[in-house]
Amino acid sequence: MDIELAQIRPKLGDVEYNLEKHLEIIQTSSADCIIFPELSLTGYVLRDLVYEVFKEAEKAVTKIVDNSKCVIFGTIKEVRSGILRNSAVISIEGNYDYIYKFYLPTYGLFEERRYFQPGDPLSDVKIFKYKGINFGVVICEDAWHPEPIEALALKGADAVFIPASSPMRRLEENLLIENNWESLIKAHSLMYGIWTAFVNAVGSQEEEYFWGGSMVSSPQGTIKVRARKFEEDRIFTKIDLEDVRKARFFSSFRDHNRDFHRLLSNL
């Protein structure tokens, strides 16, 4: 399966503009599956704007999913009256579903729990299949916790896609946050024998700046492709099942001991 990481610069609160950017990329992409950043339809630093844009974003979803490809993009979903979730839409040839962010950062510059309800791991850990590839999706902060990606790997994922809106803390030549993300996705790939793709936003929103640097790690922990920093970019790579088979043949993943889950559930 050929994938595209669409590293875009969303306009904060401008759903119409962001929708047109999504449609343009989808229509011109040669990839089988296109992945956009977290909250790509709305922008990330919404604060109280969240209540003004979510209905428009829900209408925009229907215009994106009506296509013959696989598209993954970020939006807001009202799951019950007044209850909103930070969401990703997974659209496959016109059929679509949502997954929801589990871990909502609410510290420092992050305020997600003020506006969103977290997803439910018992119902929202989902595997999707397209072009022979089983894949899962987790949103940004969820990748910094072992459970979501481990659960997807145990459910049979060959690849995990991570839509993100990761801001930089300060301008420096070698970004610590970039190094951290690279180490993280390599670790997930090596530990579980999966392809791991990190798709970041780029550009300024309010006082925050998103640095881009989207990247894909092979199951062997090699960065196969990397987007530019500080500007929009579109990068492509191929998800090859043979790499998954090779990685898992020589991996400790097949020795996974589920008794540790029972231990943790009793703590």
Helix axis angle, 15-28 to 50-64, nearest 10°: 20
The b/e string for 22-33 (b: 16+ C-beta within 10 A; e otherwise) is beebbeebebbb
Banded model confidence at residue 264, pLDDT cuts 50, 70, 90: confident
Residues 6+ apart with CB under 8 A from 38: 44, 74, 86, 88, 101, 139, 140, 163, 164, 165, 201
Mean pLDDT of 195-202: 99
pLDDT at 247 exceeding the cut of 70: yes
**Contact by Cβ (8 Å): 158, 196:** no
Mean pLDDT of 73-84: 97
pLDDT at 35 exceeding the cut of 70: yes
Per-residue CA distances from 148 to 135, 170, 246 (Å): 13, 29, 23
The b/e string for 204-216 (b: 16+ C-beta within 10 A; e otherwise) is ebeebbbbbbbbb
Banded model confidence at residue 172, pLDDT cuts 50, 70, 90: low
Among 12-16, 90-94, 113-117, 169-173, which is the least confidently predicted range?
Answer: 169-173
Mean pLDDT of 119-148: 98
φ, ψ dihedrals at 2, nearest 5°? -85, 130
Which pLDDT value is given to residue 127? 99
Could you tell me the pTM of the whole model? Answer: 0.96
Architecture of domain 2-265: 4-Layer Sandwich (3.60)
DSSP the chain: -EEEEEE--PPTT-HHHHHHHHHHHHHH--SSEEE--TTTTT-S--GGGHHHHHHHHHHHHHHHSSSSSEEEEEEEEEEETTEEEEEEEEEETTEEEEEE-S----STT--GGGT-PPP-HHHH---EEETTEEEEE--GGGGGSHHHHHHHHHTT-SEEEEEE--B-SS--SS-HHHHHHHHHHHHHHHHHT-EEEEEE-EEEETTEEEEB--EEE-TTS-EEEEPPBSS-EEEEEE--HHHHHHHHHTSGGGG--THHHHHHHT-
Which pLDDT value is given to residue 125? 98
pLDDT tens digits, one per residue of 11-32:
999 999 999 999 999 999 999 9
pLDDT at 267 exceeding the cut of 80: no
pLDDT at 173 exceeding the cut of 60: no
Place of tokens 């799951």: 79
